[in-house]
Structure 1
Amino acid sequence: MADKNRSLFRRATHRVFRISERYFNQRRAYDYSPVATSVLKHPSPVLGDVMSGSMFDPCVVELPEGGLAMFVSRRDKGSIERWDSKDGIAWNYKSTALSPAVDASAWDSTVNRAGVLLSSSGWLMWYTGQNGGSSAIGFATSVDGLTFNRVVATPVIAPELEHEGGSAMNPCVMAEGNGYRMWYAAGEDYEPDVICEARSNDGVNWEKLVKPVLTKGNEPYDAHKVGGCSVLRLSELSLAMFYIGYQNLDVARICLALSDDNGLTWRRSSVNPLVGPERNAWDSHSVYKPSALLGRDGVVKLWYNARKNRNEYVGFATIKDIGCLI
């Protein structure tokens, strides 16, 4: 009974501490402008409402026949859904793309935070599986992009290295040559700490880089930690990484890092942060995981999830010319 009372006391103490911490953290939400000068933000969420509950961590893919498919996490169901759109703003539900494991004790009893590619052989999905306060990355495929099936029963990326802590999540995968490159977030399970990279020939067996490719920075906007990203190729050697920068545990913004040597080193954009909380708006508390597409005209389309209190929905922004961020 004494042990139970001590446990209840610790939980109650932690809850009081987090309420106080969140209150003081949230006061930093408006330290920066809600958008950089080159960014135009849609005024309201494009996906999610009180009926759906929180929708978060989108991954948007261009369809060969035109239009877009979004693979988005749905918190109340612990699943990944597909929604389609013609313009990136109005979205229509298509399917539950991946459901949680039937076994409640499985490593992926909750699934979310997917990275999806459409290849010549079909649809490929790397997803985050969660259970018991830890996260790992699994792999699933689909013929039609509507329903995905797990390729292997175990994670293809699990936290093993010291800097990965107890969590590997938010895969962003790029096809390169005859294989794949993955950038993923790792560290604490509540919010990750670093961005890492791994490479694979088959999408199942991955070789990790020994050190993270991006860690917390010197400026306040990402001085606490960094998280989930979306990487675009600009040229043969140039990459752009849109990522979550955390000023503290409860205030995050979308930031940009650039590489001129094919991802060996990264430098932060001088115009950071790009998108952040806006006072009295639906995204007034925090802005999270980006999904970016680059048009032939140089315009970047950016989808992201954002939070007011506990409600998370998906927003949309455009960057008129990525050149102005470099």
Structure 2
Amino acid sequence: MKKIVFFLLVGFSFFSAVAQEKMMYGDISRKGVPFAKDPHVIELQGRYLMYFSIPPYSNKTGPENGWNIGIAESTDLIHWEKAGEITPVGEYESKGLCAPCVRVYNNKVHLFYQTYGNGKDDAICHAISTDGITFERDKSNPIFKPEGDWNCGRAIDAEVIKFKNQYFLYFATRDPDYKIQMQGVATAPGSSNFTKKDWEQAKNAPIMIPEYDWEGKCVEGASVIQKNNKLYMFYAGSYNNAPQQIGVAKSSDGIHWEKISDQPFLRNGKKGEWNESESGHPHIFETSGGKTYLFFQGNNDNGKTWYISNIEVFWNENGPYLKDKM
């Protein structure tokens, strides 16, 4: 009888551990320590592909030594293996590229990303792939940067979603003094192939600004999902390690947004936890089976390392909610 109880306890502990297993991914190829930021995930050809920003090498120089984009693959959204990298091929991205948004439209994989290292001249670019690993650049790149005296001319953190028969391109920019990070939006027709000529700034003003204490001077990293006839935007509030935390807003038209709370949806961790320094730069992802996961970046050493993790998000009539706050 004692042996039966022992095996039952061991079995229970094993299955409990499996059920509680958390994703924790960091690319060690560039710095020798885990370092991956800005996640974005798609489901393609029977597997998941995650795209993320990877930093310059610690021991190399040259055009490949800026911020680039890494690719990892998984079958369970927990365990990931490196599958490739996207590195500079054009002069406009020679200083770096990062912050990927990846969507599958018309059986093609579309990558929206930002140039990096050009200050106020950083802009949004586009590339196409059939396998999700090798990409062909859009000849009209960069495809978008904002206009108007409300911003500095920079566009980063692209997010694209199709809604009501048009495409919405969300981006982060700064005020003319380069201090306040804000959200803007551009649109393109539903028939668009995403070239520069198709994008039109939808509002000559920010669609979201930092308002609450926890948002500091920054709202960025928009990730948008449609539920019924509404869009929900998961966004990062405050600059990295301030701490950055994640909020949620909702919209019926894609342009006018209402924050659903004055508190973060996902906070940074407590002292000593892996995400003590921040829980930031969200990506909301829905599987083909209808489950929703919030991917996000975090660390507990003020940015010496960076990990990507995820947490399942649930929905009711009031919007998204969490059962387990990491």
Give the structure-1-normalised TM-score. 0.76
* CA drift at 1:161: 2.5
Is structure 2 residue 48 aligned with structure 1 residue 68?
A: yes
The unaligned stretches of length 5 or more in structure 1 are 1-40
Q: Tell me whether 1:251 sits opposite 2:246 in the alignment.
A: no
Q: In the alignment, what sits opposite 1:84?
A: 73
Contact 2:111-2:128 at 8 Å conserved across structures: yes
The one of 118, 124, 129 aligned to 1:132: 118
Larger RCO: Structure 1 or Structure 2 (Cα < 8 Å, ≥ 6 residues apart)? 1
Q: Which amino acid aligns with 2:184?
A: C
Other-structure match for 1:231: 224
Report Cα offsets for 1:265-305 as digits up to 9, x if no partner. 22212373122221212221122211112358875301111
How far off its partner does 1:175 sit?
2.5
Tell me which residue corresponds to 1:156: 143
What letter is aligned with 1:71?
Y
- For 1:68, the aligned partner's letter is Y
Per-residue deviation at 1:122?
Answer: 1.1
Pairwise mapping of residues 288-307 of structure 1 onto structure 2 (< 5 A)? Answer: 288-294=280-286, 299-307=291-299
What are the within-5 Å matches in structure 2 for residues 1-326 of structure 1? 45-49=24-28, 51=32, 53-63=34-44, 65-76=45-56, 77=65, 78-96=67-85, 98-101=86-89, 103=91, 106-134=92-120, 135-152=122-139, 154-176=141-163, 179-187=166-174, 193-201=181-189, 202=192, 203-204=194-195, 205-209=198-202, 210-217=204-211, 219-236=212-229, 238-246=230-238, 250-259=242-251, 261-270=252-261, 272-278=263-269, 279-294=271-286, 299-307=291-299, 308-310=301-303, 311-321=305-315, 323=317, 325=319
Q: Give identity over the alignment, percent.
A: 23
**What's the CA shift for 1:250?**
2.4
Give the count of matched residue pairs. Answer: 280
CA 184–303 in structure 1, closer or farther in 2 if over 3 Å, else same? same
1:132: how far off? 3.2
Q: State TM-score, norm by structure 2.
A: 0.76
Match of 1:9 in 2: none
The 1-side partners of 2:298 and 2:21 are apart by 12
Contact 1:270/1:325 (<8 A) preserved: no
What is the DSSP-based 3-state SS (H/G/I as helix, E as strand, rest coil) of the residue aligned with 1:221?
helix
Counterpart AA for 1:186: T
Partner in structure 2 of residue 29 of structure 1: none
Change (3 A) 1:323 1:295: farther
In the superposition, relative to structure 1, how do residues 183 and 286 fare at CA in structure 2: closer, same or farther (>3 Å)?
same
Q: Secondary structure of the residue that 1:127 maps to in structure 2?
A: strand
CA shift for structure 1 position 55? 0.9
Structure 1 residues 139-148 or 219-228, which shifts more? 219-228
Q: CA deviation at 1:180?
A: 1.8
Q: 1:207 to 1:254 in 2, by over 3 A?
A: same
- Determine the C-alpha separation between the residues in 2 that align with 1:190 and 1:250: 17
Retained in 1: the 8 A contact 2:296–2:310?
yes
Give the equivalent residue in structure 1 for 2:5: none
Amino acid at match of 1:277: N
SS in 1 for 2:38: strand
Shift of 1:102: 5.7
Q: 1:234 to 1:247 in 2, by over 3 A?
A: same
How far apart are residue 323 of structure 1 and its match?
Answer: 4.3
d(CA) in 2 for partners of 1:58 and 1:322?
A: 25
Q: Give the C-alpha shift of residue 42 in structure 1.
A: 6.9
